[in-house]
Amino acid sequence: MKLLSATLHARVGSQMLRCLVAAALLVALAGTARAESASIVLTGADRRPATSLNGEWGSIIDPYFSGLFSFHHVEKKNGWFMNYKAKPGDPFPTEYNFATAPKLKVPGDWNTQRASLLYYEGPMWYEHDFTYQPKLHTHVFLHVGAANYRSWFWVNGQKVCQHEGGFTAINCEVTGALKPGANFVVAAVDNTRLEDGVPGLETDWWNYGGLTREVSLIEVPETFIDQYDLHLTRGTDSEIEGWVHVVDGQPGEKVEIEIPELGAKQTAEADSSGHAELHFSVKGLERWSPETPKLYKVELRTGIDSVNELMGFRTVETRGTEILLNGKPIFLRGVAIHAEAPYRTGRAWSDKDAETLLGWAKELGCNYVRLAHYPHDETMLRAADRMGLLVWSENPVYWAIGFDNPKVLAKAKQQLDEEINTSRNHASIILWSMANETPNNPTRTQFIETLASRARSLDPTRLITAALLVRAEGNTKIVDDPLGQALDVIGMNEYIGWYEGHPDSADTTQWKIDYEKPVIVSEFGGGAKAGLHGSESERWTEEYQAAIYRHQLPMLNRIPQLRGMSPWVLMDFRSPNRPLTGIQDEFNRKGLISEQGQKKAAFYVLQKAYENHAVGKAE
């Protein structure tokens, strides 16, 4: 029986309740000593054997969150889900039943699965049955690729963890909650926008709710590898350095790294914190690049635990106003991408979604993509590794959030930590972005400088950027935001021809940039409805959008330190801020391609420029 109250706290018959209580006590007594109230980070979780929990889950809407919270939004004990007071024999009716409740597909957002849920923001309960046979000396993690925005998880009625943040992975240890045979997992997911959230109350993308990425069980031994970082030493072709972290090992625990294709093997010992430093030489290594995205099989081992990775090795750095990839200047011919699924819309999560979006970027002539405005799914990063696309990965510090609130800073740091520690194994990522279009004031600057410092401490091998706003004096655009001092690469957004002036306004625009650093124009462009044609002076037509690009490209070439661009945006995506009936219909129409795959005229303008290397002076 699938009851929404099918937990230890449910109002069920006495016989079933006794069985559940007995089972829970047994698994609790047999559980490990590991704390099960928080999520941990697992680098390369998708490279470990996993039992999929994807599929149809029972779902029940709970707009007031009465199943968990009181009117004062305090977790309570007298809700229909958290009813600790239920006793065997209590005559309460069975009012909530997952077995007869509507189903939602996981992974997937709820908004695009049911017309009645398109605009829904609030709590949703999920339930899924599965069978499992626990193993001795084994940790088991419930791995959730992402759940937007706050989420709580129970296994067989035992709370295993909760999480805040809609775009980073969750790993709840569930070892002590599992039992032989039939098991069930319950999740509560709440996509309510929060004033102290990251992002905050307003975004220019759809607030898709739900278990939006894959869900699985991951098994590891008692002593296991949770995080690792291997990279090529700058200035060399033959030196690899990094570290591996071991959980629950003894001081001196052996760690072994092997790259069979290179005939390389290295052993190190973990210190008392589980950290093992690595540095070794290899021969014949082929550097990863957009032209040759070489990936090597890398085996990481400690005791009986092993991770079989696919990794590329390259270096990235700046020199003056240049960006150097593998020691050579590069111009980043790019485009910005939202994690919007092509054709079906909704949150992108699958290999097919990634290959379609990045395939369009390759067809456009890109060697780089800005994955905005939040960390994207592991499938996107794996595809970028395979396809040779450099990546700008972004922390969801967006527009005006609570920069003066220490709780908001803590949330931003948490999500940054999860982003970097989960994704540091991807050669494609060269830029960690701290924020997008934030107001210029001292509180904001200190907030993001703190994040930049944190990012460098976690990963000194990549470049730090942010997408800044620019200001104007006459026909001169000025980039003097003090945040630029904390960045390795200056990102800047401008919309000449769309939010100001006309497309030909770009012809007389000059630039003054206060930093001798590389510049990426991280956004520019304008909207068009696919198939709508008219004159170049008629907004929303494909011709008007194409004119913006034709006038922008020569202007951008007048920026001496221009080292990349990622116009906004590859594909149209849903946004509640875009209500224009018959044109936008709640889609941001700045895409070069419609959500149904129709290429607009501007796509071909940019494609030709990229093919002819008509923009950029670094290559």
Q: Given this model, what pLDDT does residue 157 score?
A: 86
Q: Given this model, what pLDDT does residue 30 score?
A: 33
pLDDT tens-place string over residues 101-148 = 999 999 999 999 999 999 999 999 999 999 999 999 999 999 999 999
Task: Identify whether 576 is part of a domain.
Answer: yes
- 373 and 429 in a common domain: yes
Number of domains in the chain: 3
Span 459-465, average pLDDT: 98
CB within 8 A of 97, min separation 6: which ones? 1, 2, 3, 4
Which residue has tokens 């044109």? 583
pLDDT tens-place string over residues 351-374 = 999 999 999 999 999 999 999 999
**Percent of all residues in the chain with a pLDDT value above 90, rounded to a whole number:** 86
Task: Identify whether 590 is part of a domain.
Answer: yes
Span 594-615, average pLDDT: 97
Q: Given this model, what pLDDT does residue 201 score?
A: 97
pLDDT band at 100 (very low <50, low <70, confident <90, very high): confident
Task: Identify whether 184 is part of a domain.
Answer: yes
- 245 and 214 in a common domain: no
- 542 and 481 in a common domain: yes
Task: Identify whether 45 is part of a domain.
Answer: yes
- 562 and 491 in a common domain: yes
Q: Given this model, what pLDDT does residue 37 score?
A: 45
DSSP 585: S
- 263 and 171 in a common domain: no
pLDDT band at 16 (very low <50, low <70, confident <90, very high): very low
Say yes or no to pLDDT of 34 above 90: no
Neighbours of 71 (CB within 10 A): 9
Q: Given this model, what pLDDT does residue 66 score?
A: 81
Which residue has tokens 């999560």? 349
What's the order of all strands across the beta sheet hosting 50-52?
50-52, 215-221, 138-144, 170-173
Task: Identify whether 323 is part of a domain.
Answer: no
pLDDT tens-place string over residues 232-266 = 999 998 999 999 999 999 999 999 999 999 999 99
pLDDT tens-place string over residues 375-386 = 999 999 999 999
Span 426-455, average pLDDT: 98
- 516 and 445 in a common domain: yes
Span 23-30, average pLDDT: 32
Q: Which residues pair with 354 in a beta bridge?
A: none
Amino acid at 4: L
Which of 221, 254, 289 is the C-terminal boundary of a domain? 221
Task: Identify whether 227 is part of a domain.
Answer: no
- 161 and 296 in a common domain: no
Q: Given this model, what pLDDT does residue 153 score?
A: 94
Which of 32-36, 88-92, 176-180, 614-618 shows the lowest per-residue confidence on average (mean pLDDT)?
Answer: 32-36
The pTM score is 0.92
Span 86-95, average pLDDT: 49
Task: Identify whether 346 is part of a domain.
Answer: yes
CA distance 78 to 69: 9
Q: Given this model, what pLDDT does residue 407 score?
A: 98
Say yes or no to pLDDT of 21 above 80: no
Who wins on pLDDT, 154 or 82? 154
CA distance 562 to 616: 7
Q: What is the CATH number of the domain that holds 23?
A: 2.60.120.260
Q: Given this model, what pLDDT does residue 71 score?
A: 52
- 523 and 400 in a common domain: yes
pLDDT band at 87 (very low <50, low <70, confident <90, very high): very low
- 77 and 167 in a common domain: yes
DSSP 478: E
Say yes or no to pLDDT of 294 above 70: yes
- 214 and 133 in a common domain: yes
Span 73-99, average pLDDT: 55
Task: Identify whether 215 is part of a domain.
Answer: yes
Neighbours of 242 (CB within 10 A): 19
pLDDT band at 67 (very low <50, low <70, confident <90, very high): confident
pLDDT tens-place string over residues 184-215 = 999 999 999 999 999 999 999 999 999 999 99
Buried b (16+ CB within 10 A) or exposed e, 213-231: bbbbbbbbbbbbbbbbbbb
Which tokens is 570 given?
Answer: 């590859």
- 263 and 348 in a common domain: no
pLDDT band at 29 (very low <50, low <70, confident <90, very high): very low
Q: What is the CATH number of the domain that holds 254?
A: 2.60.40.10
Note every long-range contact of 543-547, with CB atoms under 8 Å and residues 24 or more positions apart, other chains counting.
543/601, 544/503, 545/590, 545/600, 545/601, 545/602, 546/600, 546/601, 546/602, 546/604, 546/605, 547/497, 547/503, 547/504
Q: How far out from the chain centre does Cα 403 lie?
A: 21
pLDDT band at 98 (very low <50, low <70, confident <90, very high): confident
CA distance 86 to 579: 48
Q: Given this model, what pLDDT does residue 194 score?
A: 98
pLDDT tens-place string over residues 149-182 = 999 999 988 899 999 999 999 999 999 999 999 9
- 518 and 607 in a common domain: yes
Which of 221, 245, 274 is the C-terminal boundary of a domain? 221
Mean pLDDT, all residues of the chain: 91
Say yes or no to pLDDT of 59 above 60: yes
| Residue 125 structural domain | 14-221
Say yes or no to pLDDT of 38 above 90: no
Q: What is the CATH number of the domain that holds 437?
A: 3.20.20.80
Say yes or no to pLDDT of 326 above 70: yes
CA distance 509 to 555: 7
Which of 314, 342, 363 is the C-terminal boundary of a domain? 314
CB within 8 A of 99, min separation 6: which ones? 1, 2, 3, 58
SS (H, E, C) 88-106: CCCCCCCCCECCCCCEEEE
